[in-house]
Structure 1
Amino acid sequence: MAQAYWSSVFTSSADEIWAVVRRFNGLPDWHPGIRASEIIGGGGGLTPGALRLLTGVDGSIYRERLVALDDADRKLSYEIVEAPLPVRGYRSTLHVQPAANTGGAFLSWHATFDPAEGTTAQDATAVLEAAYAPALAGLHTIIA
């Protein structure tokens, strides 16, 4: 399995960051590449099994399933069901932790996946990390 990873340090508290990140249907609020999100099955947007339909700003469609939501540990895990990405078996976790020395927070976004046929792990990782970076930058813009 291949892996992708991105992280960022925030001056806002872990609880403030988690309040935004935990909303499975809230990605368009902070990811500049996502125009819309709709929960299309599996219960509410905070229940494991929830299925979201994301629409990219370029019109691309992504279907993703919430795997786990752990408020105590501030972790959200999801998997891609269908997406125009060069990956298979994608599972990702966003984890928000307090930064004890500053009162801020540290957010990590980690994924495991297999590269799609005809794609190298390095190329697939680059595509994913190119999506994570502006997402976390977007999160910085909405959290003061």
Structure 2
Amino acid sequence: MATTSASIEVPVSADRVWELIGGFDSLPDWLPYITVSTLSDGGRVRTLTNEDGGTIVERLEAFSSRERSYSYSIARAPFPVTGYLSTLTVHETPGAGVTRVEWSGTFTPDGVSEAEAVELFRGIYTDGLSALKQSLAAS
């Protein structure tokens, strides 16, 4: 099983960050390449549509507003992995005026090398967190 993660620090409160990203269907609010998120199964499944019209289906596995974190698995996606589980967490930095956001995942490569799968998801996480920082700066 492979793992990767990315993190970014943003100069806003953890509450403000969580307000933007804490909803399981909030990706279109801060991630430009996801244009639509549609919830089903009582809010536990999201179907994401990207800017090219492709879809990804993800299932919410764990959620904690108190810990400002949620984990999800991929039910269907065009990615060369199986057993994907990802966590998005907002970490408060007391007294620093900075919040750290971490996006991490575990998965088993399928048809590609571990290095290729890790590079793919590290890129997705890094680009996504950069988009988050831009969205926070714009609001």
- Partner residue in 1 for 2:118: 125
Q: Say if 1:32 and 1:134, in contact at 8 Å, map to a contact too.
A: no
Q: Distance in 2 between matches of 1:4 and 1:136?
A: 14
Deviations along 1:68-110, whole A, 9 cap, x unmatched? 1101111111100000011101000011111224122001111
Q: Structure 2: any 5+ residue segments left out of the alignment?
A: none
- Corresponding residue for residue 55 of structure 2: 61
Deviation of the 1:28 alpha carbon? 1.2
Partner of residue 86 from structure 1, selected from 68, 80, 85: 80
Instruction: Detail structure 1 runs of 4+ shifted over 3 Å in the superposition.
Output: none
Is residue 23 of structure 2 the alignment partner of residue 23 of structure 1?
Answer: yes
Spell out, residue by residue over 1:103-123, the C-alpha distance to the aligned partner (whole angstroms, 9 max, x if none). Answer: 22001111001001x211110
Match of 2:70 in 1: 76
Aligned-partner residue type, residue 123 of structure 1: E
* 1:127-142 matched pairs, under 5 angstroms: 127-142=120-135
Shift of 1:124: 0.6
Contact 2:104 2:125 in 1 (8 A): no
Equivalent residue number for residue 91 of structure 2: 97
Query: Equivalent residue for 2:11?
Result: 11
Q: In structure 2, what is the equivalent of residue 115 of structure 1?
A: 109
Structure 1 distance, partners of 2:30, 2:128, is 6
- Are 1:34 and 2:12 matched, yes or no? no
CA distance in 2, matches of 1:97, 1:67: 19
Using the alignment, how far apart are the partners of 1:51 and 1:124 within structure 2?
Answer: 24
The structure whose residues are more often helix, as a share, is 2
What's the % identity of the aligned pairs?
37
Structure 1 runs not aligned, ≥5 long: 45-49
Over aligned residues, Cα RMSD in angstroms?
1.1
TM-score (norm 1): 0.90
Q: TM-score, normalised by structure 2?
A: 0.93
